[in-house]
Amino acid sequence: MSFPKKFFWGAASASYQIEGAAFEDGRSLSVWDTFSHTAGKVKNGDTGDIACDHYHRFREDVALMKELGLKAYRFSISWPRVLPDGTGKVNEAGIKFYSDLVDELLKAGIEPFITLFHWDLPKAIYDRGGWRNREIADWFAEYTKVIVDALSDRVRFWMTLNEPLCHIMLGHHTGHHAPGEKASDKEIVQMIHHMNLAHGKAVKIIRNYAKTPAVIGFVPNPSTGIPLTDTKEDIEAAKAYTYSGAARGLFSNGWWLDPILLGKYPKDGIEAMGEDFPADVIKEGDMEIISQKLDFLGLNLYFGTFISHDKSGGFYEVPKKPGYPINALKWPVTPQIMYYMPKFLYEKYNLPIIIAENGISLPDWVSLDGKVHDPNRIDYMHRYLRELKRASEEGVDIRGYFAWSILDNYEWAEGYNERFGLIYVDYETQKRIPKDSFYWYKDVIASNGANL
């Protein structure tokens, strides 16, 4: 069997990671511009000033997407490119770039999927309190309205937030990402709530003003519990771990999924926080705004944790075996997540699933024959897609898969140290070289996954 007939075979990117043109055509600074230009924050002092120069080369890149046979392309909008002050005056040059990109995609027969926020918060908004300021929900709604007015005559698919956990926890709690803060748990929950409000208000804006019928979701990167064995006890333990609001503190899935999808914060998470839970931040009517009806759940899936049951009926994380498979970033290779995670979350939240990101970083280089051979990426994608296909065949409503990423790009605090792309980028010359995985994925798309 292949995947559903109208399955979206896609690839993904994010604005700060590929666009470059950081100081051109009226774009203002984002928190990632200031963070990357701060000594010691990013490997090798790398910045996204030029990145893949996609801003100037998007037509070349879309031509490669067409050659690949993509049915869909997921990209994010740079908030500071279209609203340099975060609110107020619109930068028409920024809007034109995204409008031209959408036109180019549609001309190539590729469905645009827009992500409204993929971490590049305008510095102007951060300077006004950022996610600590409740007003950010209205500022985000204003920004959303600008994008909807400009693009919704041609764009149907919308994702509000990408990996809110990473942006808040790594950016504001551990300090590893922009803006580099180390806030308390109490402050973090406040930021989570304001981000959730921003999401809810954005959904309402899209529903009310979209010029074509809108299909809306958001994209968390949930922690995945993989049952150690296929026994009922281990499956239930892995499910409990996946659904928990306390298993990993504020990194637990309940904090990032339940408010938006169920309209409530996780009871076990609140109990674990005790007096640190800032109940006063939640105002009357907030949860109704936050839990707007969605059309799909986007998932960014890379690796998971093996879970087993204990004698008390609980669960525990199973220690990793010596020499377990890893990628260049030392992340585990665990294809089972593509079966269990869609299955577990579809069962709990009953929303169609789109895999919004999945891929692997490898130490790719150009071989003597001028090509980029990446057999391990092909093997990785093959293993993960087979598991996704199994979930689909067992009745999980899976609508699409987006490979991360279309191009090698700026990997946040890792700079240009990591290569996730289906297309190799020589950052000195900006030459693009499709890797072997590009041609393998092209065949998968052409067969609708029947050849997996």
Tell me if residue 357 is catalytic: yes
First to last CA, the chain: 10
In the 8-state DSSP scheme, what is residue 321?
A: P
Q: Are strands 8-12 and 215-219 parallel, antiparallel or unpaired?
A: unpaired
* Amino acid letter, 240: A
**361, 329 Cβ separation under 8 angstroms:** yes
Tell me if residue 271 is catalytic: no
- Report the binding-site residues: 17, 118, 162, 302, 404, 411-412
* Amino acid letter, 407: L
Q: How far does CA 117 lie from the centroid of its chain?
A: 9
- Report the binding-site residues for substrate: 17, 118, 162, 302, 404, 411-412
**178, 34 Cβ separation under 8 angstroms:** yes
Token pair recorded at residue 427: 């950052």
**77, 140 Cβ separation under 8 angstroms:** no
Q: Of 18, 148, 96, 9, nearest to 430 (Cα)?
A: 18
**CA distances, 335 to each of 61, 224, 300, 437 (Å):** 29, 11, 13, 17
* Alpha helix ranges (H) inside 122-184: 123-126, 136-151, 164-165, 171-172
Active-site annotation holder among 181, 357, 387, 418:
357
Distance CA 9, CA 297 (A): 16
Q: Are strands 296-300 and 353-358 parallel, antiparallel or unpaired?
A: parallel
Token pair recorded at residue 301: 């899936």
Helices (H) and strands (E) in the chain, counts: 17, 13
Around Cβ 434, how many Cβ atoms within 10 Å? 18
Active-site annotation holder among 104, 163, 187, 387:
163
Residue with tokens 């609001």: 245
Residues with catalytic function:
163, 357
